[in-house]
Each structure stands twice: as C-alpha cells, then as structure tokens.
A = this chain, B = another copy of it.
Amino acid sequence: MFGPMSDQPHPGRPPVLVDAERAIRWTTDVFMTCGMDRADAEVVAVQLASDDLRGVMSHGLIRVSNYVQRLQTRAIDPRGRPEVVERHGGTAVVDGQNAMGQVVAAYAMGVCLDLAADCGSGSVAVRHSNHFGTCAHFAQMAVARDMIGMAATVSAGNIMAPWGAIEALLGNNPFGIAVPTATHPPLVLDISFSVAAGGKILLAAKRGDPLPSDWAIGPDGLPETEAARAAGNLLVRPVGDHKGYGLALMVAVMSALLPNAAFGREVRNMRTDFEQAQNVGHWFHAIDVKCFSDPKDFRERVDRAIDAMHSARRGPGVERILVPGELEAEVEERRRREGIPYPEALRSELNALGHSLAVGPLDDSG
C-alpha cells in the first residue's frame, strides 16, 4: 500500500528517536560546512527531515553523506544560484546553475506558483539541477495557495531499460501531485514508474533476501530473483510493462527534453560519478483551483471523494482503504510528537560524519 517504504523494523537495538527540529538544525550545520549559505542549507535540511517525518526514509537523512561528498568535490556547486532564463506567459525555464536540487526545486516551484497565480496555470522546466529529494515535497508547496501542484524529475542515474531491452537508458522518473482538501490531509501521490525502487533491491541484496519476480530484469531479459545479481546490474521492471516504460519516457520528455537537460546515455550516476555536473532536469506544474471552481467547494469535493474511497466495500482481511498521502500524514503526526526513529547504522554514520565535519553528533544518546 501507500506509505513509508523504508520504515521497517530493524533487528537489534531499538532506534533512537531524534526530534525533527534537531535533525533540521544538524543537517543545516552539515551543509554549511560544505560552503552553502544558511538559507540554502536549511532548504535541503527541511526536505530531508520532512521526508523522514513522513516515513519516506529512503529520501531523508540517509542521503546526507552522498550530498556532502558531491558538494565537497564540487560536483554540485554549494553557491549555485538558480535563475529564470526564459519567461513567457505562464511558463518559465529555470537554469539551476548546478546548485543543490532542493534549492533549485524550491526556487522553481516558487516561480511556478507565482505564474499560476497570474495565469491560472504555471509550467516550469528546469535544467542544470541535481537530485532534489522527493516530488511530493515540492508538489505540496501548492496546497496552501489553493493550487494543485505537480513535480517530476529525471532520476539521477539510469536503472530502467526501454521495454524489451536490457540496457538501462531511463530512470524510473518519479512524478508527484498534491491536491488541497478541506479537513482530510492533502491527497499526495508520489510514485516512480518501476514496480519497486532500486533502493529496495539493494537492501534485499544486503540482507540476502530473494526478490519477487516482477522487481528486476536480468541480462537475459527474464525476471531476476537473485538480489545480489540484480543489484550488480540494476534493471528495475516498469509498472505495467510497456505502460511504466511509456510513462517514464514521457516524464523525461517534460523534465529533460523540454528544458534540454541530460537524457539517456548522457545521464550520470550520482552515486558513482563525482567528476562532472549531472544536468538533472525537472518539471513543475501548478493549477490555480479558483480559476475552475470556488476553492472551498473544490476542497469539499475532494474530501467527499476521499470519503467515498474510504467507504468502498473492502476485500477480506483488508482493514482500511487508503488514499495517497494518508499514511504518510499519520506517520508525520506521530513523529512530530515522538521524534524520528533513525536506525542505529544510519545514526552511527551520521554521528561520525558530524564529528568529522566538527558540527557534533546528530544525537547525544550515546
């Protein structure tokens, strides 16, 4: 179902709970040691901690080490300043100037929302950016302004083959959309177009678990169920076969071909290539609800639609019917009170990183 992907119990010592505000402060300090100014560092820290809060821990503080390495090698420019390079009507092209993806995305989505406020609909294509975290985080910026927000990006590394092929020429290219509601949490869908995330295959390989037959494709084009082999030559299977391939390709049309960002064999892997800028492309879109409907009426219609989904006759053994973003909102509410449970291995890694950068540990609990 929808919801936290990496939020699974870990064997051994129970995870230490870290307050979200503390996680944001610590992460901001870390990125400032890499040459980022405070405001930019905080934008990144807020995305990472917010996704940990929502239980999407695959896109939270687990990313800090890789980002730090890219900043330190100047594969990412800690002082990059994204800017609008084209603007016509409700559209813009943003050049990310190789800044951190989150800094670029927050700027570009801000531009997009302003365009939508002017023209009813805003569309912003972005080049020269980097991995930005989650589509959901930026799509959600629209909701407070009575807008529907969309975000899409080319993955920062190819892990999917065109359907029928065995060569990774595409990312699983995620797409996110956030919709304002009246009393329910916002509807927030954030999915990639592979059956399973690449990270889940890597995790299964680490644990020695076999893979379900629809997660990965082997070099023979057949399902690969041995996780170690799949991890060594990552080819995730698209959802719905040719449908997921087609959707990932269309996300790339909007996010890479429209702004002229890296596509196909030009795409470099963020985890292995620290030599050059990645030229990651994004696409942001916003729709101003009030141009179509009274926003209050619309929000109530969305609430009733959610109620309808909740009320659907359930299959045997199914406790509740969820809508996109619902579980994440519940996890967030709990974690805001209780703190974020960082698994021991991640906590140790981050504490060691903090020590090496002289910003202190993420937490002091020993």
Interface on A for B, CB 8 Å cutoff? 1-2, 86, 88-91, 93, 118-123, 125, 148, 161-167, 169, 177, 179, 187, 189, 191, 193, 195, 217, 220-222, 239-240, 242-244, 246-247, 249-250, 252-254, 257-260, 263-265, 285, 287-289, 291-293, 297-298, 301-302, 305, 308-309, 312-318, 320-324
Contact = CB atoms under 8 A, between A and B. Distances in A.
Nearest to A323: B249
Contact of A287 (B123, B260, B263, B301): B123
A157 B254 CA distance: 31
A38 B176 CA distance: 43
Given A91-B292, A121-B90, A244-B239, A305 B253 contact: yes
Contacts of A324: 242, 246, 249-250
Contacts of A222: 315
Nearest to A170: B309
A217 to B, nearest CB: 8
A46 B243 CA distance: 26
Contacts of A259: 292-293
A309 B91 contact: no
B162 A246 contact: no
A193 to B, nearest CB: 8
A251 to B, nearest CB: 10
B125 A123 contact: no
Given A120-B88, A121-B122, A165 B293 contact: no
B166 A288 contact: no
Nearest to A222: B315
A298 B169 contact: no
Contact of A91 (B120, B164, B254): B120
Contact of A318 (B121, B164, B191): B164
A240 B244 contact: yes
A292 B191 contact: no
A288 B254 CA distance: 12
A338 B152 CA distance: 42
Contacts of A243: 191, 193, 239
Contacts of A264: 305, 308-309
B2 A250 contact: no
A313 B166 contact: yes
Nearest to A319: B164
A295 to B, nearest CB: 11
B162 A253 contact: no
8 contacts: A2-B242, A91-B288, A93-B292, A148-B258, A164-B318, A187-B249, A191-B240, A222-B315
A259 B292 CA distance: 6
B313 A167 contact: yes
B165 A258 contact: no
A165 B314 contact: yes
Nearest to A119: B89
Nearest to A235: B315
B191 A246 contact: yes
